[in-house]
Amino acid sequence: MIELKNVYKEFVNGEVVTKVLQGINLQIGRGEFLAIMGPSGSGKSTLMHILGFLDNISTGQYYFDNKNVSSLDDDILADYRNKKVGFVFQSFNLLPKTSVWENVRLPLLYNRGKTDLSYVDKAIKSVGLEHRKNYLSNQLSGGEKQRVAIARALVNNPDIIFADEPTGNLDSKSGIQIMSILHELSKMGKTIVVVTHESTTAKYAKRIVQIRDGEIVSDEVNKDVISTETLKGQLK
């Protein structure tokens, strides 16, 4: 459902031109669980922002469900961000001093179709936070915050979830919890793209794309993908 063809991205700040992505070719199919790996500064986040309609490309083509994304206007892109994709950020990005419920509800505010508020509770339940529903965002632990972020990403029932270093700010126990939630979602058929520079995080993915200096250097099936059993064992 995603196809990048020879995508280049550069940032221009006055005289300074930073070339970040240099000829990316990538296809992501429905239901895949993909990890994008690479050292810091290699362009992972930039790539994910492009995939998630938050940033535009400099040259090349990006097709989403066979539509050329560059040809879509601002409001349609906003709608895509709202319904087609869900984001999870390293730094959580919850609304400060706002309840869990309201944080999860946020995307529904911008959903122009019919919305059913029961999705909010469903999403909160799916990350196991029913008992924290009325807590304020600043009363939560890091792991709980990230689970709220996942619930928020799920609430509009998107096709694909982008997670940019979702475990980067978490202890290993919470990190495992987050990854197992993504693992569950993947089993339920959601397309998941995780950006990470940690191999412990990447091992949950079925496919691993390595990126260096804005170029894909390898793109392989993960033979050592963690089994559901091992995962359950880790969670204990």
Partner 1 sequence: MRFDFSTCRQTIKALKTNKMRSFLTSLGIVIGISSVIIIMSGGAGAQSLITNQIQGIGGDLLGILPGASDDEGPPAAVMGINITTLVYDDVKAIDDRVEEVVAASAYVRGIAVASWQNKTKDTSFLGTTANYMEVEGGAELSSGNFFSVDTKEERVAVLGSLVADELFGNVNPIGERVKINKESFRVVGVMKERGLVGFQNQDDQIFIPLFTAQKIMLGINYLSFARAKVAEGSDVEYVIDQVSNVLRDRHGIADPSQDDFSVRSSEETLNTLADITDALNYFLGAVAAISLLVGGIGIMNIMLVSVNESTREIGLRKAVGARRIDISLHFLIQTIILTTLGGLIGIISGVSISFLISVVAIALGYDWEFIIPISSIVLSISFTLVVALTFGWYPAQKAAKLDPIDALRYE
Ligand X SMILES: Nc1ncnc2c1ncn2[C@@H]1O[C@H](COP(=O)(O)OP(=O)(O)O)[C@@H](O)[C@H]1O
The nearer residue to ligand X, 23 or 31, going by C-beta atoms, is: 23
Query: How many C-beta neighbours within 10 Å does residue 221 have?
Result: 9
Please tell me the distance from the alpha carbon of residue 126 to that of residue 112, in angstroms, as a whole number.
24
Task: Provide the terminal-to-terminal Cα distance of the chain, rounded to the nearest Å.
Answer: 36
Task: Transcribe 107-156 into DSSP letters.
Answer: HHHT--S---THHHHHHHHHTT-GGGTTSBGGGS-HHHHHHHHHHHHHTT
* Residue position matching structure tokens 């063809």: 5
HSE-CB of 44 using CA atoms within 13 angstroms: 27
Structure tokens at 51: 């995939």
89 binds, among Mg ion, partner 1, ligand X, none (CB under 5 to 8 A by kind): partner 1
Q: Within 122-181, which residues bind partner 1 (CB under 8 A)?
A: 152, 156
18 binds, among partner 1, ligand X, Mg ion, none (CB under 5 to 8 A by kind): ligand X
Stretch that binds ligand X, among 43-51, 56-64, 129-137, 220-228 (CB under 6 A): 43-51
Q: Note whether 20 binds ligand X by CB under 6 A.
A: yes
Stretch that binds partner 1, among 26-34, 89-97, 127-135, 188-196 (CB under 8 A): 89-97
- Residue whose CB is nearest to ligand X in the complex, by number: 45
Q: How many residues bind ligand X (CB under 6 A)?
A: 12
Virtual CA dihedral for 116, 191, 40, 47, nearest 10 degrees?
A: -80
Q: Give me the least distance between CB of 32 and partner 1, in Å please.
A: 22
Spatial CA neighbour of 83 closest among 33, 187, 154: 154
Q: Note whether 111 binds partner 1 by CB under 8 A.
A: yes
Stretch that binds ligand X, among 12-20, 23-31, 88-96, 175-183 (CB under 6 A): 12-20
- Give the distance from CA 8 to its chain's centroid: 21
* Residue position matching structure tokens 């994910």: 48
Spatial CA neighbour of 35 closest among 181, 171, 232, 220: 220
Please tell me the distance from the alpha carbon of residue 133 to that of residue 152, in angstroms, as a whole number.
12
The nearer residue to partner 1, 102 or 219, going by C-beta atoms, is: 102
H or E element, residue 33: strand 33-37
Q: Give me the least distance between CB of 43 and Mg ion, in Å please.
A: 9
The nearer residue to ligand X, 14 or 189, going by C-beta atoms, is: 14
Point out which residues bind Mg ion (CB under 5 A). 45
3-class state of residue 52 by DSSP:
coil
Stretch that binds ligand X, among 11-19, 67-75, 116-124, 153-161 (CB under 6 A): 11-19
Residues that bind ligand X (CB under 6 A): 11, 13, 18, 20, 38, 40-46
Site of interaction with partner 1 (CB under 8 A): 49, 52, 54-55, 74-75, 78-79, 81-83, 87, 89, 93, 95-98, 102, 106-112, 115, 152, 156
